Amino acid sequence: MTTTRGLEGVVATTSTISSIKDDVLTYRGYSIQDLAERSTFEEVVYLLWNGELPTTEQLCSFKRTLAENARVPDELFTFMKKYPLDYVHPMAVLRSAVSNLGIYDPDAERMDKQSNKDKAVRIQAKIATLVAGFSRIRKGLEPVPPNESLGFAANFLYMLKGCTPTEVAAEMFDKALILHADHELNASTFTARVCVATLSDMYSGITSAIGALKGPLHGGANEQVMHMLEKIGSIEWVDDYILNALENKKKIMGFGHRVYKNGDPRARILKTMAKKISGLQGDGKLYDMSVKIENLIKEKKGLLPNTDFYSATLYHELGIDHDLFTPVFAISRTSGWAAHIMEQYNDNRLIRPRAEYNGARLRKVAPIDQR
């Protein structure tokens, strides 16, 4: 056997869902740039789950189904109110809440294709309600019920803040959801597929994926980017902070990618979006700091930003709490997780790799009085 740390470069499965080739990211053959410019998040979710973009009639039906399934059991919000709200992380709450969703789904254990697609709809619709509801509960506010007349992105912002978002804010958030919907066999997606390859249920698969996404080397990176920007505080302090961090070999979050060698295409789109929203709703301070950091890291380390870097500024300017950045990522990525889970079910084989043992040689157990 040969070992590869982190499974880097190892091809573990085949998939028709998304692809990264020559630094081009596609969903079902459509480039991420084309989808972000010409489609909505609901269209992308439909594409990921069905293989083709929807017709007008199919899209209307799909949006209606998502809207009709957005409410969550009242008991889940009751549970949240009993959590230690002064310190619990929203990703820990989301992990538990999605797991609990399965308890209230009578079809949770059904494994036929239609049941799995129905569960995917329920989870996708409800996960946004869970994140927005917890955000309000920990502030002493009541959750805002979903508004079925709004699109998915606009409805999340509405449930989060209690008022209808501007058209620009809804459009920006919708594009961000598209950009994060899927990303080939990333850590959380692989975790989901490993889980359901045992023929565990979809709720278990999504819960496992959320656990993997929680880590700062995966979905938690954009929250860490925001912490860095807050620590720096001003564009005048960028050079001192970054150069000192590099000198002390500290990791600068939001840069580099194991797969992309010439830059993350999502980061370029998010940079443009962050600039636009900063000019419309902010003073441009965070964006200007981010650009200076990007240029400095490129000069000193030859690294380019990934999707986490400029999404931090975008979400901040949209008024999203910083520790909600990763749960927002989960809202979007649920669409990709569900697609991969259904693909795994359709051609399943238990995922069971080997490990090269490098511990003690074979030895005998000595009697306890001789140890």
Q: Which residues are part of the catalytic machinery?
A: 257, 308
In the block, tokens 């979905």 appear at 219
Radius of gyration of the chain (CA): 22
> What single DSSP character describes residue 164?
P
Q: Which amino acid is at 301?
A: K
Structure tokens at 233: 């505080």
* Interatomic CA distance for residues 342 and 21, integer angstroms: 23
Structure tokens at 193: 């597929």
* Interatomic CA distance for residues 30 and 108, integer angstroms: 32
3-state secondary structure 168-183: HHHHHHHHHHHHCCCC
Measure CA 358 to chain center: 35
Strand residue runs (E) in the chain: 18-21, 24-27, 30-31
Measure CA 45 to chain center: 14
Structure tokens at 93: 């709450």
> Count of H helices and E strands in the chain?
16, 3
Sign of the Cα torsion 304, 310, 313, 315 reads: negative
> What single DSSP character describes residue 259?
S
How far CA 126 is from CA of 70, 279, 334, in Å, comes to 5, 32, 11
How far CA 369 is from CA of 119, 225, 363, 365, 366, in Å, comes to 58, 55, 17, 11, 8
* Interatomic CA distance for residues 279 and 267, integer angstroms: 18
Sign of the Cα torsion 107, 108, 112, 114 reads: positive
364, burial (CB in 10 Å: exposed 0-12, middle 13-18, buried 19+): exposed
* Interatomic CA distance for residues 141 and 136, integer angstroms: 5
